[in-house]
Structure 1
Amino acid sequence: MFIRNESFSSFKRNYPVITTLIVINVILFLWINLSLWTGGLFPLGLEIRQLGIGINGAIAEGQYWRLLTPVFLHQGTGHILFNSVSLILFAPALEKMIGSLKFLAVYLLTGFLANVATFLLIANPAYSHLGASGAIFGVFGVYLYMVINRKELIDAMNTQIIMIIIVIGVVSTFINPGINILGHLFGLISGAAIAPLFLRKAKSFYSV
């Protein structure tokens, strides 16, 4: 379920949404950083970052797109690599089990809700954030719901794997500096909360 042995061509054919999300994230990361590295010579990179990053004060002034656009932006090489690898390892099973459109809805909705929580619960108007971690924790939240309420969808071995990953992810959230703690936690919570809506017709990964 969480072991990847596909070729690149079979991966992008079987998991089109995940492939597209990773491509978008990497293109935007390279575009923005090429602009930063060249002092703004690469067109519009700095503008994309400035318009897309989540800034609480700007959201309060009506720039509500910033509740979603941070999901596609990343700060540094380690950030984009970690989130891309997380998508590659852990998201394919869910896209296969519920279908590509439902997976996209889960990903975007949980990322959005994590950013809404960040906006509502952090009073500092200067607070800013970016990254897909809220949405990735949303995927983990759906798996958490499976472990608790839909045990027929996930076997014992993969239950252990996902619980270990969730525990590591939550602990890392609190011990690593610069993490949007609320984004991670509410991504996880929102994933578990909306899971019943998206798992109604889900099939076990091994029976799809």
Structure 2
Amino acid sequence: MSTYPGPPSDTRATEPDSGSASPILEVLVVFVVVFALQWLTSLVGAMASLFVLTPPLETNPWTIVTSVYAHGGIGHLLSNSVALIVFGWPVARATTRIRFHVFFLVTGSLAGISQILVPGLATAMPFVPGTPTAGVLGASGAVFALLGYLIASNRLSAGLASFVDVPRWLAWVVFLGLAIAVTLATAAPGVALIAHFTGFLLGLLAGRARILNAGR
């Protein structure tokens, strides 16, 4: 996620899809198609209104969805694609195609919305580069959600939770601290840190609840 500076009943239904790489490949295809559409619409000056999430949200509400799959450049596209493969592949193997796509879209949209609706928090962090934003686009929020889910739902985390009775408030504190640490580690000019933080925290909470698991 980066800132934009300019203007029938079947048991298989509850199991992970065979060939679980399919949702990853599908998202990558959408990335490429949307990137091509961005280039075409930029020729007529319509790219920002179609793919960049900007305030107020009700002006171009479709960008809540389209901005999740749009990117600010080829480097942005490639970095998010690699991160999607690395963090998304294990998650995709543990869930269904529909659940994966819904999770990716919802967390990515909420991450983008948070970046737009929390400008006060962004401007209150002058020591962190790249937080203020007039618009946002990119899949980083959703990718960070996949990373958070992977961390909180893996077997090691589940095993520790079964041995140690952690109070809910302490789990929240740990998740919040981890989200802050990971977010600050990605700080750079043009990076939508609020979106990264939101996506990662949502992923941690979803992973703790294991909402994507569709085991036998």
User: Does TM, scored on the shorter chain, surpass 0.5?
Assistant: yes
Match of 1:179 in 2: 191
Query: Which of 154, 161, 170 is residue 183 of structure 2 equivalent to?
Result: 170
TM-aligned CA deviation for residue 200 of structure 1: 4.8
Quick check: 1:56–1:126 contact (8 Å CA) kept in 2? no
The AA in structure 2 aligned to 1:189 is L
TM-score, normalised with respect to structure 1 = 0.69
TM-aligned CA deviation for residue 169 of structure 1: 5.6
The CA RMSD over aligned residues, in Å, is: 3.0
The AA in structure 2 aligned to 1:15 is A
Ranges of 4+ aligned residues in structure 1 off by more than 6 Å: none
> Number of paired residues?
169
Match of 2:79 in 1: 82
Match of 1:24 in 2: 30
SS at match of 2:67: helix
Residue-by-residue CA offset, 1:172-191 (whole Å, 9 max, x unaligned)? 422x1100000001000111
Residue identity (%): 26
TM-score, normalised with respect to structure 2 = 0.67
Change (3 A) 1:85 1:72: same
Residue-by-residue CA offset, 1:142-175 (whole Å, 9 max, x unaligned)? 11212574249xxxxxxxxxxxxx999634422x
Change (3 A) 1:88 1:197: closer
Match of 1:63 in 2: 60
Change (3 A) 1:65 1:32: closer
Counting only pairs closer than 5 Å after superposition, residues 1-208 of structure 1 correspond to structure 2 as: 13-34=19-40, 36=42, 40=43, 46-57=45-56, 59=57, 61-122=58-119, 127-147=134-154, 149-151=157-159, 170-174=183-187, 176-195=188-207, 196=209, 198-202=211-215
Residue-by-residue CA offset, 1:119-163 (whole Å, 9 max, x unaligned)? 2211599710100000000101111212574249xxxxxxxxxxx
Stretch deviating more after TM superposition (194-203 or 15-24): 194-203
Structure 1 portions without partners, runs of 5+: 1-12, 153-165, 204-208
TM-aligned CA deviation for residue 54 of structure 1: 0.6
Residue-by-residue CA offset, 1:60-81 (whole Å, 9 max, x unaligned)? x453332222111000111000
